[in-house]
Structure 1
Amino acid sequence: MLGIPYLLHDPKYHQFWSTQKGADHLADRRLDMDRLREVVDLANHQQQMFDEIRAIIATSLATPIAMPELLGNLLTLQWQRGTSWAAAQATRMRDEIKARADAGHAVCAEERYRLGRVGAGMWQNTGFYRMFEESHGAVFVQNMYLSIAADGYRRFGPDLVRALASRYCAFGLFAKDWPAREAQLARCDGVVTVRDSLDSMVRKAFERVNIPVLALDIDLVDGRTWDEEAVRLAMDRFIAEELEPRRQARG
């Protein structure tokens, strides 16, 4: 796990308790720590399932689940984390993806390039993640939502409030190498992002591990900036000029 800087952790911990005291006063009841433990255990189990899904995808010879399907299920369950239903559904999701991988199921029969996604999702057009499978054999295998689930949400320790507070301090300036590590773990040949999601420290982290980055000129909260022809041309160049030479060099 990532180290937690205490200069951020302690203030967040005290902020949690201050908020909780106010909630206790307004509700005229006290926080049930036993119930909180149950919720945290369920949430941890759910994130463990997502960690195992991450490992299955990373180690499969062919990608067993398409990115839009993965994201749709993942985000639905994350908004329900801490419930018995979400924990059970995450287990079923893990079992289904493992069964596909064991059976050799591939979302792209001619997979040649493995791609990662840095930053928030391309929600204005999730079909983007599958646009280049048939034409180029380029498959998106990694995204930040699954990675954050595995590394950012699981929390353990006897002091539940301190453990939960640490979740908000695990990323940011102290984890600029983390996206590159995730791309390496998923065996990505390249990663795609948008300009606002890429700063110089993250770019240098990818350069150190020799993973090329394509930053599209798109505003994720303004659908008017989506230009499919420009996106296709940028991806064509990225694959031809960055990914294919590296693939040939590897033999």
Structure 2
Amino acid sequence: MSGHSKWSTIKRKKEKTDGARAKVFTKIGRELAVAVREGGSADPSSNSKLRDCIAKAKANNVPNDNIERIIKKAAGDNDSSKYEAITYEGYGPNGIALIVETLTDNRNRTAGDLRHYFDKFGGNMGTPGCVSFMFEQKGVIVVEREGQDEDKVMEDALEAGAADFQADDDVFEIYTEPEDFSGVREDLQAKGYAFVSADVEMVPSTYVKLTDEESITKMQRLMDALEDNDDVQNIWHNWEAPESDDED
């Protein structure tokens, strides 16, 4: 998966301020709440989507007390917040493809905000399906390389049912089919692995590199605006970020 820049995104997110970390906690909190409602149970043992969300929350250092409080609130009748999952597609500067996944309680507000960001930073929001054909859904599990034996991690991943394995400078990236993601993650977790991230992602088939500073600046500002929006849960794109910095 050459050009996959997920790890640089993770590094940048881990270095964010407490205020930005609180935004990450809020976004994951929404995912946990939706998983409880859609899965019909607040018991992770019988709700695989909730188990996956809990693993994602822990990988992002969300405290256990926060996780338990969110699940309890979502399971109670007194929680009136209802979120709708809507996916938007569009293009950034120089045709960079973007898929933006949201959870919103006001689709008009969210659509207006996203359209404004795309227009302001040299892109345009498109119609459903305009860029998704350039991506493939995959489970992606990232394990920090330090202290791990590459052959052992690869063996454990493939035995667990992984479809692909890649060793990068800082991490090991383990890829699965979407339907196998939960089982592979749980198997590796049972073997004692901790994850930098674990999620089902939209992985692009090819990447585009921006070469002029103006386009790079606009793309980064578009990414920042999207990430700062509380309704935005995930941003998938085919921008191959410069290797000289940690920004995605």
Q: TM-score, normalised by structure 1?
A: 0.24
Higher helix share: 1
Higher Cα Rg: structure 1 or 2?
1
Q: TM-score, normalised by structure 2?
A: 0.24
Higher strand share: 2
